Amino acid sequence: MSAVAEARTGTVRASRPRGGGRVRESVARWLFLAPAVAYILIFFGYPVVQNVVMSFQDYTTRTFFTGEAPWVGFANYAEVIGSYVFGTALSNTALFTLGSIVGQFVIGLLFALFFHRRFPLSNVLRSLLLLPWLIPIIAGTSVWKWILDQDGGVANQLLGAFGIPAVPWLSSPDVALIAVIIVNIWIGIPFNTTLLYSGLQGIPEELYEAAALDGATGWKAFWHITWPSLRPVVTVVLVLGVIYTLKVLEVILGLTGGGPANATATLATESYFRSFREFQFGEGAAVSNILILFSLVFAVIYLRANRKQVDE
Amino acid sequence: MKKITLASGALAATAALALAGCAGGTPSEPVDRGDITLTITDTLSETSAPVYQEVYDACAAEIGIAGVEATHVAGSGHIAKLLQQIASRDLPDVVMIDNPDVQQIASSGALSPLTEYGIDTADFPEGVIAAGSYDGELYGVAPMVNSLGLIYNVELLEAAGVEVPTTWDELREAAQALTQGSTYGIAFSAANSFEGTWQFLPWMWSNGGNEDDLTSPEVVGALEFVTSLVQDGSASASVVGWSQNDVTDQFIAGNAAMMINGPWNLPRLTSAEGLEFEITTIPVPNAGDDVVAPLGGETFTVPVNEDSAVQEAAGAFVACLAQDEHQITMAAGRGGVPSSPSAGAAAIEANPYIAAFVDTVATARARTGLLGEAWPDAATKIYTAVQIALTGQQSPEAALEQVAG
């Protein structure tokens, strides 16, 4: 039967496939897609939709037992945006993300370029560089909290050896955000280094040799060969980094708990506190939806940039 | 959405009917519980769990059940887990809930009132009853409670020639005199969490302030006092990042001559080599005032159970846990104070260090006593205001006005 069908569609392929063949093709296509679509709908779609709905409801501990969550419209959003913490949380989130990404990316790129030249023990060092990424974040933040302690911490003792007065890393609202950014950069360097390093490996050596013949070495070689060739990898690293950093919670909770005096409060910590400290799940959902909106913007930028790459 | 509401409404109705059935029939003779094994979830640490296991086994034998299955979870994720279990109707038979959370969980309707299990709480301090009550009914009973006190390093005080302070002025002077070299006079926790709130409450309440009026002069006065300790340099600016455990670390290391902390640290303090310490009640604003400190301690609660026989056994179990002899075991093993005053004397004999805490608990106040379910919101405001004032961003008065909204 199938052979006959094949023969039939084969003869009319010059114009277009017959109705029966086209339907079967698209049915087959959908059947292949079905498991993936179902998975995404259940494990990504449902929580996101539930979260959006929850942000319009008065969802409290009582709801867990009775299942009732009265509809309150935009009241949660009004309460969240009108609270005195929101402006601070918004600017902190922006500063934290910007500072972390710039720091992680620049240092990661420098490390990748450094390891690009082979030298003895470079493989060992590169593996060791992965450690900050591998350590459980709570363990890492506990150690950093001890290092950055104002009175007895190693950081201030080191600065003291150079005659610099002790810096109140985690206890001053002016410095706390910088301290948290530094720790987040430390955690994010391995990710950037690894991806950029593999991107560098993909650039053919011949390009460098050809450029050297024309007298382009060092900085010129980087600007004209390395950087353009790395563009796809850079896009991935930056956009993934931004989307991930927007959500960072454990680093901040472990180091300062959002303080002192909301100096390190971000949208992520606000969402967590509203839901699990004050048991106002509707408000927490509202904050997290605002965060998702920002992430979506960057995701769209990523998709756009990617499409451009393919077209180029 | 509507379908879910209907289904869970029907489920809640069935649960209510079952509960009514339970309340209606009080057994005149003990029901045979020989084949019941109670599941308990508590938030005990590895060191405290064996202490309680002794008591669990003793009570299991006393009420005639087959045994208990205790699961220990970390305190921080406990509430989230409980809420999940409430939603899936999958709660254990007995649940340990920290006292400020009882009202929230009770308001969901998942707990059963303890009055039907014959628990005698007549001579429990008022704060203990208030902490475990919601809407006039008792839902959680705490066999062991704790509070806050002033713990000081005897050697350092003697060396500086400082007497033990009893009023705020004396405390401020003592702290200044004790601040030498790398040692601060006093240490306490002003963290960005409910621990920071908990540590501020003795100052606020002893000065006559209340959590429903945060801009009153009494609360402002209390915040001004705490801020002055940091401004004088008697307390490290890092207190805004310290948990109570960090404060204990600092005290044991000799970086602080005095600390505000609770009796749960006693096992650590007594085992610290070369540390000579004493405990007294927290200084009061003026001589002769009463110290009003917050009441800590976990309660045992009995969730509503589909199986009325199991629920009744769970109730009898919790009633057994609340007896004096078991209170003393728990308090001695964990460093706490028995809830019942009659057990207090025996506990002090076993561990003289808790004498100051026994006095404090008698007048201690429950955090949820005034505001009930609205407490978490006020607690967040309090620790935020403390942080804003201690970091010098605003004056105490302005800080409190900002958070009060």
Mean pLDDT score of chain A: 87
Domain count, chain A: 2
Query: Could you give the CA distance from residue B120 to residue A22 in angstroms, rounded to a whole number?
Result: 79
Name the CATH superfamily for B149-295+369-404.
Periplasmic binding protein-like II (3.40.190.10)
**How many Å from the N-terminal Cα to the C-terminal Cα in chain A?**
45
A109 lies in the same domain as A146: yes
A253 lies in the same domain as A146: yes
Of B86, B105, B237, the CB nearest to A171: B237
Give, to the nearest 10 degrees, the angle between helix B324-334 and helix B49-63.
170
Of A171, A173, A273, the CB nearest to B238: A171
A43 lies in the same domain as A166: no
Q: Is the pLDDT of residue A93 over 90?
A: yes
State in words which class domain B14-141+297-352 has: alpha beta
A254 lies in the same domain as A304: yes
- Tell me, yes or no, whether A61 lies in a domain: no
- Tell me, yes or no, whether A32 lies in a domain: yes
The burial of A27, by beta-carbon neighbours within 10 Å (0-12 exposed, 13-18 middle, 19 or more buried), is given as exposed
Q: Is A262 in Cβ contact with B241 (below 8 Å)? A: no
Of A62, A151, A152, the CB nearest to B107: A62
Sheet holding B277-280, edge to edge: B184-187, B256-261, B149-153, B277-280
A25 lies in the same domain as A165: no
Interface test with A, best of B89, B183, B391, B402 (most A CBs within 10 A): B391
A119 lies in the same domain as A213: yes
A88 lies in the same domain as A26: no
Q: How far is B303 from chain A (nearest CA, A)?
A: 12
A129 lies in the same domain as A248: yes
**Tokens representing B59?**
């009570």
Of A53, A62, A150, the CB nearest to B108: A62
Query: Which of A54, A69, A92 lies at the terminal end of a domain, its last residue?
Result: A54
Mean pLDDT confidence for B177-197: 92
Query: Could you give the CA distance from residue B106 to residue B132 in angstroms, rounded to a whole number?
Result: 9
Q: pLDDT tens-digit profile of A181-226?
A: 999 999 999 999 999 999 998 888 888 888 888 887 778 888 888 8
Q: How far is A120 from chain B (nearest CA, A)?
A: 43
The residue type of B74 is A
Query: Could you give the CA distance from residue B260 to residue B266 in angstroms, rounded to a whole number?
Result: 13
Domain boundaries, chain B: 14-141+297-352, 149-295+369-404
Helix (H) or strand (E) holding B69: strand B67-72
Count of CB atoms situated within 10 Å of the CB of B251 = 27
pLDDT at position A20 is 67
CATH number at residue A288: 1.10.3720.10
- Tell me, yes or no, whether A63 lies in a domain: no
Query: Could you give the CA distance from residue B382 to residue B385 in angstroms, rounded to a whole number?
Result: 5
The verdict on B372 touching A (C-beta cutoff 8 Å) is: no
Q: Is the pLDDT of residue B21 over 60?
A: no
Q: Is the pLDDT of residue A310 over 60?
A: no
Query: Could you give the CA distance from residue B185 to residue A14 in angstroms, rounded to a whole number?
Result: 93
Q: pLDDT tens-digit profile of A223-270?
A: 888 888 888 889 889 988 998 999 899 999 999 988 888 899 999 999
* Between A290 and B30, the higher pLDDT residue: A290
Choose among A28, A10, A30, A9: nearest CA to A20. Answer: A9
Q: How confident is the model at residue A309 (pLDDT cuts 50, 70, 90)?
A: low
* Strand extents, DSSP E, B262-376: 277-280, 298-301, 337-338
Q: pLDDT tens-digit profile of B327-338?
A: 998 888 888 899
Residues of B within 8 A of A87 (CB-CB) are none
For the complex shown, is ipTM > 0.90?
no
A47 lies in the same domain as A81: no
Q: Where are the alpha helices (DSSP H) in B179-307?
A: 194-206, 217-231, 244-252, 266-271
**Tokens representing A213?**
């013949």
The verdict on A273 touching B (C-beta cutoff 8 Å) is: yes
**How many Å from the N-terminal Cα to the C-terminal Cα in chain B?**
35
Asked if residue A260 has a cis previous peptide bond (ω within 30° of 0), the answer is yes
- Tell me, yes or no, whether A110 lies in a domain: yes
Domain containing residue A17? 2-54
- Tell me, yes or no, whether A68 lies in a domain: no
- Tell me, yes or no, whether A11 lies in a domain: yes
- Tell me, yes or no, whether A89 lies in a domain: yes
> From B105, which residue of chain A is nearest by alpha-carbon distance?
A61
A258 lies in the same domain as A198: yes
- Tell me, yes or no, whether A118 lies in a domain: yes
A208 lies in the same domain as A254: yes
